[in-house]
Amino acid sequence: AVKQLWGDGDHMAEIDDMMAEQEAIHGEKAKSVWDLFRDKAVRWQLITLFLVSSCMQLMGVNVVYFYAYNVFIKAGIAPAQTHYVSLGIGITEILSTVVCVSGSSAEFHSAVMHVSFQSLETTVNEASGTSCKSTDSFSWVPYCSVALIFIFIMSFGIGPAGVLCPLPTEIFIQSYRPAAYVFNGATNWIQLFILGLLFPFIV
């Protein structure tokens, strides 16, 4: 099974680790989420999991997902085309999951450039003293905004997003992993809910 997953080669070190873990838990049954909270031996792993999940919410990608439609409209994309652009976001996320290599630097730079283009639009509007949009003078600005959002999401998918799912497997022993995954999923969705409600007020 290991060779099927990882290809030919010497995988005895990994197999020895698996056997040692199996011996350590002595066929112990899966723990509940309540057991996860009560056991002081896994307290730091639980805190680590919570902090990583919380930091993921602060990276901004979820807000981009929630409010992408509004961003595209403000950037000057025609309302009839925003559905196709939103579909492109989903495809970008799938592609980034397949690629999944380091991408944090690209995520940062694409976010900075997107803010710069939004600032350019505002500056041109103020300088003209009229209600015309920057897209009247710079027809390429909306497309750059869309491209930068795609790059931002792709960078997130191939960088930090690849950490959260396998993390419980890496830091918990087998008996705690199911409970850790439940805790991780619940924490993530609760924080998404809170972020989605609070972000408009923060703006």
- Evaluate if residue 190 carries a pLDDT over 90: yes
For 68-125, what is each residue's pLDDT tens digit?
777 778 777 788 887 788 788 778 777 776 666 545 566 666 667 766 666 666 655 5
Contact 188, 56 (CB under 8 A): yes
Q: Which domains does the chain have, with CATH numbers?
A: 31-201 (1.20.1250.20)
What pLDDT was estimated at residue 134?
42
What pLDDT was estimated at residue 183?
93
Q: What is the DSSP string of 9-25?
A: S--HHHHHHHHHHHHHH
- Evaluate if residue 131 carries a pLDDT over 50: no
CA dihedral over 80, 138, 203, 155, signed as positive or negative: positive
**3-27 burial by CB neighbour count: b if 16+ within 10 A, else e?**
eeeeeeeeeeeeeeeeeeeeeeeee
- 169 CB-contact burial (10 Å; exposed 0-12 / middle 13-18 / buried 19+): exposed
The residue written with tokens 């579909």 in the block is 87
For 140-185, what is each residue's pLDDT tens digit?
777 777 788 888 887 787 777 777 788 888 888 888 888 999 999 9
The answer to which of 136-140, 173-177, 196-200 has the lowest mean pLDDT is 136-140
The dihedral over CA atoms of 143, 146, 147, 148, expressed in degrees to the nearest 10, equals 120
How much is the pTM?
A: 0.62
What pLDDT was estimated at residue 51?
92
What pLDDT was estimated at residue 46?
92
